[in-house]
Chains A and B, each alone.
Chain A
Amino acid sequence: MTRWRPRLADGTAPVLVVLVVLLVALAFAGPAYSEPAGYLALLKRAAPLVILAIGQYFVVVSGGFDLSVGSLVTAEVVIAARLISGDDGNTAWVIALLLGFGVLVGLVNGLITTKLLVPSFIVTLGMLLVLDGAVFLWTGGAPRGALSPSFRVFGRGSVDLPLLGAVPWSVLILLAVLVAAVLFMRSGTGRTLLAVGDNENAVRLAGGRVERLRLLAFVLSGVLAALAAILLAGFAGVSAQVGQGLEFRAITAVVLGGVLLGGGRGSVVAAAAGALSLEALFSLLNLVGVSGALESAVQGVIIIAAVAYAAHGAGLRQRFRPRKAAPSLP
C-alpha cells in the first residue's frame, strides 16, 4: 500500500507552524476571528503583500533582489488614478496598461542585470530612485485623478459563489496566483530557476538558459507587483505613500518563509505563508494593543530570528536526531 503524504519542500514546515499558531492566537485575541469571515477579511487584507512576496520569491530564489517593487506599486497606483480619472470606461485598458508597465519595469531590471552584469541590488535600487523621482515629477507631489468603481472592485468587492457565499475578489486572485506559482515552480522551468540560484555555472554547463530565466524572474516580479498595486489601490485608495517600505516587507516575508537570500533554497508556498504570517502578526499586535510604532521593531526582531533559526536550525535538528552513519569525506 502506498502512503500519501503532502510533499512539502524543505523548510516549509516551520513557517506553516508559525502561521497556524498565529491564526489560533488571533481566534483567542479577537471576537472577529471566531468565524470564517474574520479570516477571510485577514486574507483580503494580506492579498497584496502575499502576491508581492510571491513575485519577490522568484527573484530571490534565483539569486537576486528586487528593491523596486515598493516604488513600482506607488507608480502604478498613481498612474491608475491619473489615467482613469474616475471614468468606468477607462478601467479595462488602464488595467492592461498597468500590467504592461509592470512587465516593462521587470524587463528593464532583468536586462540590465543580465546584459550589463550589474548586481540586481544596484539595478533595482536605481530603479527605485528613478520610479520615485518620476512619480513625484509627474504628479508634483500630490496624486491627481480618481479611481473608477469598477477598478476598485478587485480590491474591495466580493463575488457570490454557490457554496462559499461572498468571497472577496482579491482572495480569488490570490489563490489563482498561488496555484499558478506552485505549478510553475514544479515545472521544468521553475526547477531550473531554483537551480540558477543554487549554482549558476552548473545550470549553464547543463545547457540551461541562465540569463533568460533571470529575466523571467524579474518580469514575474514586475507583473505581480502591478497586480498587487491594482488590489492595493482598490483596497486602500490613492496616495503617494501607498508602496512605501513594501519592498522590505516583501523581502521580510520571503525570508520569514525560510527562503535563503542568495538563492537556491525555499518554496513559494512558504514565501506566501511568510507574508500571511507577517500580516496575521500585525493584526494580532493590533488586537493586543501594541502601538503601531513598535510594529517595525517587531518586524526587525522577527526577521533576525527567522534567519538565525534558518542558519542554526539545521544544526540543531541534526543534533537531536539519532546519528546515521557519517558520510565519508573524499
Chain B
Amino acid sequence: MSVVQEKVPVARRAQPAGGRRFAFTPTVTVYLALAALLVVGSVLVAVDGGVLLDQGGILNILTRSTVLGLVAVGQTMVIVTGSLDLSVAYLIGLCSLVAAETMAGQGSMVFPGVALALAVAAAVGLVNGLVITVLKANAFIATLGVALILRGWLEHNYTGPAGSVPRSFQHLGYDRIGPVPVAALLMLLIAAGAWWYMRRTRPGYHMYAVGGDIEVARLSGVRTSRTIVTAHVLCALMAGLAGVFLASRLGSGAPYVGTDAGYDLESIAAVVLGGAALAGGRGGVVGTLGGVLILATLDTIFDDLAVDPFFKDVVRGVVLIVAVALYARRKLTSGRAS
C-alpha cells in the first residue's frame, strides 16, 4: 500500500512548488545524487586533464553496471520481500563455470550451456527459499550457509579458470551499439521486466506485502512462503545470468569471479543506496539501478583520476553509511511531520 501512496505525490505534482516534495522519494534523491556525482566527477576529471563522459567513459560506466545491475535487481526482489541473499557471489562463479564447461568451445553448445547454468542457479535459489520457508532459518544464516556450501564445492573442485566459451558467444560480452554495450541494453531490458513484475503484477505486490509485514500478508491471504521462494529463485536466476555474461566476457568460467568483486555485499549496498529498506517492504528496481550507476560512476571517476584502488573501498563504505543515514533521517522527519 505504501508503495502506491509513495508514487502518487510525485506523479501529480508536476509543479516543483515545494521542491521538497521531490526529495521525499529515495528514487529521486538517488538520481539527483547521480547527476551531482557526474557533474562533480566531470569537473574533477577535467581539472586532471581528461574527459569523464567521453565514449570510453560511458562504455566503462555501463560495462561496470551490467553485472552489478543484474545481481542488484535480483537482490532488490529478495530485499523487498524482507529477505537477503548472501550466496550470489559464489553462485556467479559457479554459473560461469557451468556455462563455460558445458560449452567447451563449441558453438552448438551455447544454448545448452546457458540453459544448464540458469537451471543450476534456479535450483540454488530454490534451496535458499526452501531453507528459509520450510526449515524456518533466518535468511542471513540460510543464504550464508548455502554460500559456504557453494564455496566448499568450488574450492574442492576448481583451482582456477576452467572451460571455454566459443567465439560466437563472446559477442554477448563485447558487441556494442555506439558507446552502449549490447549487454547493458539486455540488462536494462531485464530490469524493466523486473520493474513490471514488481509494480504491475499481483505476485510483485505480494513481495512488498510480505516484506512490509509477513503476518499481515499471511492474514490477508497471501501465500507468503511461495512469494519468498519465488523471490529467491528470481534473484538466483539474475545471478546466474551475471555469471553467464562474465563467462562470455572472460572467455572461460572462473570460480572466484563473483567473490573477488564482492558482488554479495556490493549488490546489497547498491540496493540500499537505491532507497530500499533492509527490513523489507520498501525499495524498487529504478532506485537500485540509480545505486548501481552511482557505484559504477564512482569507480570510473577513481580510475580516471588514477586513485589508489583501495581508497575506493574507503569512499564506498563512507558513501553507503552516509546515504543510509540520510534516508533514515528523512524517514524520521517525515514520520514526525505526518
Contact = CB atoms under 8 A, between A and B. Distances in A.
Partners in one complex: yes
B332 interface: yes
Nearest to A129: B317
Interface string B297-333: 0000000000010111111111011001100110010
B141 A261 contact: yes
B272 interface: yes
Nearest to A108: B321
Q: Which of A65, A119, A297, A298 counts the most chain B CB atoms within 10 A? A: A297
Best-buried of B146, B148, B316, B320 by chain A (most CB within 10 Å): B148
A166 B45 CA distance: 62
B175 interface: no
B135 A130 contact: no
A133 B262 CA distance: 13
A121 B86 CA distance: 13
Contacts of A298: 152
A184 interface: no
B151 interface: yes
Interface in A222-277: 248, 251-252, 255, 261-262
Contacts of A126: 317-318, 320-321
A125 B278 contact: no
Nearest to A260: B138
B314 A311 contact: no
Closest A-B pairs by Cβ, 8 of them = A297-B152, A133-B313, A300-B148, A129-B317, A293-B155, A136-B310, A311-B136, A130-B317
A112 B137 CA distance: 28
A128 B317 contact: yes
Contacts, number: 139
Interface in A273-329: 291, 293-304, 307-308, 311-312
Interface in B133-186: 135-138, 140-142, 144-153, 155-156
B269 interface: yes
B321 A300 contact: no
B278 A129 contact: no
A296 B152 contact: yes
B149 A307 contact: no
Given A123-B321, A261-B141, A301-B145, A129 B328 contact: no
Contacts of B313: 129-130, 132-133, 136
Contacts of B136: 308, 311-312
Contacts of B116: none
Interface string A34-78: 000000000000000000000000000000010000000000000
B312 A133 contact: yes
Contact of A294 (B145, B152, B272, B332): B152
Interface residues of B, number: 43
Chain B interface, DSSP helix/strand/loop, else mixed: helix
Chain A interface size, as a band, is 35 or more
A318 B320 CA distance: 45
Contacts of A127: 317, 321
A168 B72 CA distance: 47
B147 A300 contact: yes
Contact of A118 (B135, B265, B269, B321): B321
Contacts of A308: 131, 135-137
20 contacts: A112-B321, A117-B328, A117-B332, A119-B278, A121-B278, A122-B321, A125-B268, A127-B317, A130-B318, A132-B313, A134-B314, A252-B144, A297-B148, A299-B145, A299-B152, A300-B149, A304-B142, A307-B137, A307-B138, A307-B141
Contact of B329 (A117, A129, A132, A136): A117
A300 B152 contact: yes
B317 A133 contact: yes
A116 interface: yes
Given A116-B329, A127-B317, A311 B135 contact: yes
A129 B328 CA distance: 21
Contacts of A293: 152, 155-156
Interface string B273-305: 000001100000000000000000000000000
A137, A262, A295: most-surrounded residue (chain B CB, <10 A): A137
